[in-house]
Structure 1
């Protein structure tokens, strides 16, 4: 049985694979994931590429009424696969695979954060305007005007 931290990492890996499918980062994520599972074996890596392609195809089906359920199902599949991989190797290889999986998750986390601004732990008492970005111009009048 894996430690909680490795289970959480496997969960994050599953989420990364599914959320990257069909995006501009998919090819890189696909290749890194296949290398991670292939562990230097070209045949195993090709097999993993097929699994990844099947995932992308399952998620890309147009007009799926159960798209959210399909995403969850694929995340569970990949989490389980990552867990199985980490459980199937010795301590030394597990440490190396863990680092590769962390790098994959970090790439996904960084990519997901681009373009996202988060404002937390603020209290606004009355009308409020928030603007972020570079080179923005905005005129805002809060409250009543006296024209």
Structure 2
């Protein structure tokens, strides 16, 4: 089996994240159809199977209890990353380039505003990040603007 280039692994990971983020949103029907078509590669039976798999993912994400939601998201994201990696690994160079282009276009079209990215071993977020350690050590690094400490007291004229 051929190893994927780092950029293709990152693209597959973005695809997995996209599936999880789109599930349950107004964008889901169109996104779901395009992902199923991409993974089906022109085979109606495979496309139908992928559509059903996508529906099961959306159902699992919707049905997960609050305390299980993050683990469910992680599992589903990893499963879809693997599906995209498997597809990319199975193709010749021309097919891989075509799928890469299609997946990039799909993700660009459905990407939420404020897209973020991180390198290997990094975490990027377009919103709040909470770091917690239950009986262990937690650490975080901020690259960019941040203010830590007690907030400034507002001027009385500000209310």
Give the structure-2-normalised TM-score: 0.71
Q: For residues 91-118 of structure 1, what are the alpha-carbon distances to aligned partners after superposition, in whole Å with 9 as ceiling and x for unaligned?
A: 1111110011101221232x3439x89x
Give the aligned CA root-mean-square deviation in angstroms: 2.4
Matched, 1:73 2:85: no
Structure 2, unaligned runs of 5 or more: 116-125, 128-143
Aligned residues: 126
Q: For residues 74-96 of structure 1, what are the alpha-carbon distances to aligned partners after superposition, in whole Å with 9 as ceiling and x for unaligned?
A: 00000011000000010111111
Report if aligned partners of 1:127, 1:143 keep a CA contact under 8 Å in 2. no
SS state of the match for residue 42, structure 2? coil
Structural mapping, 1:106-121, within 5 Å: 106-109=108-111, 111-113=112-114, 121=145
Report if aligned partners of 2:16, 2:77 keep a CA contact under 8 Å in 1. yes
**Take 1:92 and 1:62, find their aligned partners in 2: how far apart are those partners?**
39
Give the structure-1-normalised TM-score: 0.76
CA separation of 1:84 and 1:75: change in aligned 2, threshold 3 A: same
Over 4 Å off, 4+ runs: 120-123
**Take 1:37 and 1:64, find their aligned partners in 2: how far apart are those partners?**
30
